[in-house]
Structure 1
Amino acid sequence: MGIKQKLAMGIATGALAVSMIGGGTYAYFNDVETSTNTFAAGTLDLSLKPETIIDVKNIKPGDWMNRDFTLKNDGTLDISKVLLKTEYSVTDKNGDNVENFGSHIRVNFMWNHDKSITGPWTGLDNVVYQTTLAELQGMTPDAVANKVFVPYLEEKGGLKAGNSDTLSVQFEFVENDKDQNEFQGDSLELKWTFDAQQTKGEKK
């Protein structure tokens, strides 16, 4: 074999080796798996029935009014607490009010039937007890709390998804044995907001 043939053979062999090395970089086993994941948020949905808890006319000092209402968790998440926020406005018919009408309307009790066995008159674990509307404006009591929990007899505090609590409330136009003529013809519009709060985060 001449020098030219040997040289040509060497070049061809080298080119073949390079092509095999290059081609070898794509020759490997492979296996692919795909993970499809979802994060779906739950819902907080508190319902109140009836939405108008009280609508009463022609009241006078000494009158009291009992009303019942229900709080229900229609959402998918448990509720840890339901904070009651109080706002009201007074229409002074004669423009002669010296005192706050809200200081003369008292919530004698707000009692959660599902969270207490002591009864509304003890005051031990009432949501509200012997408190005027004026005083309630600065408070945010928990309507579904259980302050004195008795196992096996009562529910713990909070409101689980799908559950409901029945509450009773008694209002009174307090007779203070003084001249209350300034309130004749007046009206008070009460707004109660029930603010449902989620439970703490947890491992899922």
Structure 2
Amino acid sequence: MGIKKQIGIGVLSATLGLTLITGGTYAYFSDEEVSQNTFAAGTLDLNAEPTEIIDLHNLKPGDSMVRTFELQNNGTLDIEKVLLETDYSVVDAKGDNKDDFGKHIEVEFLYNADKLDEVIYQTTLANLKNMEPEAVNEHVFYPNFGEKGLPAGTIDDISVKFNFVDNGQDQNEFQGDALNLEWTFKALQGEGKTK
């Protein structure tokens, strides 16, 4: 084999080797498009005004008081349900209570904020404290708000009448006592929808 032939075979072998090494890469046309999407979650923002439910002194059996709460949906999503959790503590001034003061405070949720004459639901604070929030919604808020709930950007009032029930018996054990009531309003959204 001549030197020219050997050099030719060597060049051909080198070319073939480079082709095999770079054989995995080749040129082609391409195009790319980026899709920009935004998923923004809405907000649930329920406010209750006033935040202080009631602050009364010198109550006696037979006294009653009405308070109106303004429920505001300041969020961007409709509120389907409003839940209410009740908690209270009793300060027994003389340490002689045999009964729960909350059993003697009757709560009436009222329909008509103007006349305050139609009761939606009536119970005691003691019963309300033991109720499931869903049951309170069913008895109190659903009759008031209905299927629409509390749409975004709306305000609705709910009026409540508190009665210190005069049961006609000796209630002296409650003299000087205090009941600290805490209501927690919770907002729930409705079911998701196809958009």
TM-score (norm: length of structure 1):
0.77
Cα separation, 1, equivalents of 2:185 and 2:124: 18
Cα separation, 1, equivalents of 2:130 and 2:148: 22
Cα separation, 2, equivalents of 1:170 and 1:24: 83
In the superposition, relative to structure 1, how do residues 120 and 18 fare at CA in structure 2: closer, same or farther (>3 Å)? farther
Of 142, 151, 171, which aligns to 1:180?
A: 171
Structure 2 contact 78–149 (Cα < 8 Å) conserved: yes
CA-CA distance at 1:35 after TM superposition: 2.6
In the superposition, relative to structure 1, how do residues 110 and 11 fare at CA in structure 2: closer, same or farther (>3 Å)? same
Cα separation, 1, equivalents of 2:26 and 2:111: 73
CA-CA distance at 1:188 after TM superposition: 0.8
Structure 1 contact 81–157 (Cα < 8 Å) conserved: no
1:19-59: per-residue Cα shift (whole Å, max 9, x none)? Answer: 67857942211111123333322221111111112111111
- Give the match's secondary structure for 1:145: helix
| Counterpart position of 1:98 | 98
Structure 1: runs of 5 or more not aligned: 148-153
Answer yes or no: is 1:190 the counterpart of 2:168: no
| Counterpart position of 2:56 | 56
Cα separation, 1, equivalents of 2:66 and 2:104: 17
| Counterpart position of 1:151 | none
| Counterpart position of 2:129 | 137
Cα separation, 1, equivalents of 2:155 and 2:25: 67
- Give the match's secondary structure for 1:156: helix
TM-score (norm: length of structure 2):
0.81
Which residue identity lines up with residue 145 of structure 1 in the other structure?
Answer: Y
CA-CA distance at 1:66 after TM superposition: 1.1
Which residue identity lines up with residue 31 of structure 1 in the other structure?
Answer: D
- Give the match's secondary structure for 2:147: coil
| Counterpart position of 2:162 | 171
Structure 2 contact 109–122 (Cα < 8 Å) conserved: no
Query: RMSD of the TM alignment (CA)?
Result: 2.7
Structure 1 stretch 40-49 or stretch 8-17: which is displaced more? 8-17
In the superposition, relative to structure 1, how do residues 24 and 198 fare at CA in structure 2: closer, same or farther (>3 Å)? closer
Structure 1 contact 88–188 (Cα < 8 Å) conserved: yes
Structure 2: runs of 5 or more not aligned: none
Which residue identity lines up with residue 27 of structure 1 in the other structure?
Answer: A
Q: By percentage of residues, which structure has more helix? A: 2
Q: Aligned pairs, how many?
A: 187
- Give the match's secondary structure for 2:37: coil
Cα separation, 1, equivalents of 2:10 and 2:66: 106
